[in-house]
Structure 1
Amino acid sequence: MTETIKDKLLLIFTKNPVAGKVKTRLAKDLGNEKALEIYKFLLNHSAKFTAAVNATKQVYYSDSVNKDDIWNNELYSKKKQLGEDLGERMQNAFQNGFEENYKKIIIIGTDMYDIDSTDIENAFQDLENHEYVIGPAEDGGYYLFGMKSLNSDVFKNKEWGTSSVLQDTLQDLKNKDVKLLETRNDVDLLDDIKDHPAFQKYITI
């Protein structure tokens, strides 16, 4: 049976771009306005490369859905994240996707610059032969997570935003078939971007 776009769902978790609420660790070095500029730059990159992904795409906003922004309403359906913490919010998004009968679901954030549509397409392909796919981040978290059926354990008992998330998640999946992708660096700290050519215009004085 030929796989269709209806079989694949890409969940994109994003924060509403508000100064003082995004990239707070960057803001400690660069200030709230610069941090917001960088986050908007990352949002634009995310909207550009995900548009080319051959899958249904849903953008989940942290605070409120914006029908008039960079996410094209014809390419993305828009929802609000629901849950007390990040884990519960992700679990609810995956659960909704599986209830809508998607066969493969992948979630990403909007903190990455060194990622493109091919990475997402390859991750969906990896789900052909594996139960789970994870893109490890250099800070000990992950930048991509995908699965073919709901496993709620991976979203519970985690200290989100810390260096233990990946290892704790792998521990939950220790007897499962997991494909680990290439480790990538997401953008949280000044050290993450200070030597990256794409960000020089934001950090040079």
Structure 2
Amino acid sequence: MDSNKLIIFAKHPELGKVKTRLAVSIGEEKTLDIYSELLNITTSVTSKLNVKKIVYWDHTKENPPYEFGIGFDYEVQEIGDLGFKMKMAFQKEFQRGTNKILIIGTDCPFLTENILFDAYRKLDDSDFVIGPARDGGYYLLGMKEVSPFLFHSIPWSTKDVLSLTIESIRKENKTFSLIDELIDIDDIDDLKYWKGTTY
């Protein structure tokens, strides 16, 4: 898999800047602790993958307050909505040469190394692979070539992201595979599902 890539979209772990919907319920300091834990889980799950790993920070890549460690390169997300940021990251990494690229965030504690392996495998037989999130979005997207149409006219952070993405793939007569549905941690209900405790 060494010719494949994994893009990780991450935010700097800064008080008041992460998981703002969750912070409304549990406060900014606890939210920062949760986000830091999610970063640690993402690092642990991805560190052993034999692919090129590139972390795209939400702003400067210089002296980030969190280190993913050896084997991770750093870039900065473009300015724009989520779709534009993802499109430009995919475009940049394909231009540098690769076979398959997956993109993930840092807010899915249920992600496993095996799920990532499965996603790369599914791209052998499909144009795209998608990891559905329970809220109607997706926690993973993978492809084998630059495909800007995936990021056009999508209302990001809504329950329609997955269905509209699949619709756009079908309109282009492309194929896709789905992997396990997981939960992103966005609000207090997600946190309770993960931790099984009351905050």
TM-score, normalised with respect to structure 2 = 0.94
- What residue is the counterpart of 2:117 in the other structure? 121
Out of 182, 185, 189, which is 1:187 matched to?
185
- Measure, in 2, the Cα distance between the counterparts of 1:15 and 1:195: 23
SS in 2 for 1:173: helix
- Tell me which residue corresponds to 1:57: 53
Matched residue, 2:157: 161
Show CA shifts across 1:97-147 (max 9, x none).
110111100000000001111111111111111110000000010000000
Partner in structure 2 of residue 43 of structure 1: 39
Checking the alignment, whether the CA contact within 8 Å between 2:61 and 2:75 is kept in structure 1 is: yes
Residue 140 of structure 1 corresponds to: 136
Q: Does 1:70 align with 2:95?
A: no
Letter in 2 for 1:43: L
CA drift at 1:180: 0.9
Deviation at 1:67, TM superposition (A): 3.9
- Quote how far apart the aligned CAs of 1:63 are: 1.4
Which amino acid letter does the alignment assign opposite residue 16 of structure 1? H
Q: Pick closer, same or farther for the CA change 1:67–1:120 going to 2, 3 Å.
A: farther
1:172 aligns to 2:136 (yes or no): no
Structure 2: stretches of 5+ with no match in the other structure: none
Runs (4+) off by over 3 Å: none
Question: Per-residue CA shift, 1:40-61, capped at 9, x if unaligned?
Answer: 0000100111001121000000
Secondary structure of 2:140's counterpart equals strand
Q: Could you tell me how far apart the structure 1 residues matched to 2:29 and 2:136 are?
A: 27
Q: 2:105 aligns with which of 104, 109, 114?
A: 109
Alignment coverage as a number of residue pairs? 196
Greater mean alpha carbon deviation, residues 103-112 or residues 186-195: 186-195
Question: Where in structure 1 are there 5+ consecutive unaligned residues?
Answer: none
Q: Do the aligned residues in 1 keep the contact of 2:118 with 2:179 (CA within 8 Å)?
A: no
Structure 2 residue matching 1:46: 3-state secondary structure: helix
Percent of matched pairs sharing the same residue: 37
TM superposition shift of 1:83: 3.0
| Structure 1 residue 66, shift from structure 2 partner | 4.4
**RMSD across aligned positions (CA):** 1.4
What do residues 61-105 of structure 1 show as CA deviations (whole Å, max 9, x unaligned)? 001214453311x31010000131111111111001110111100
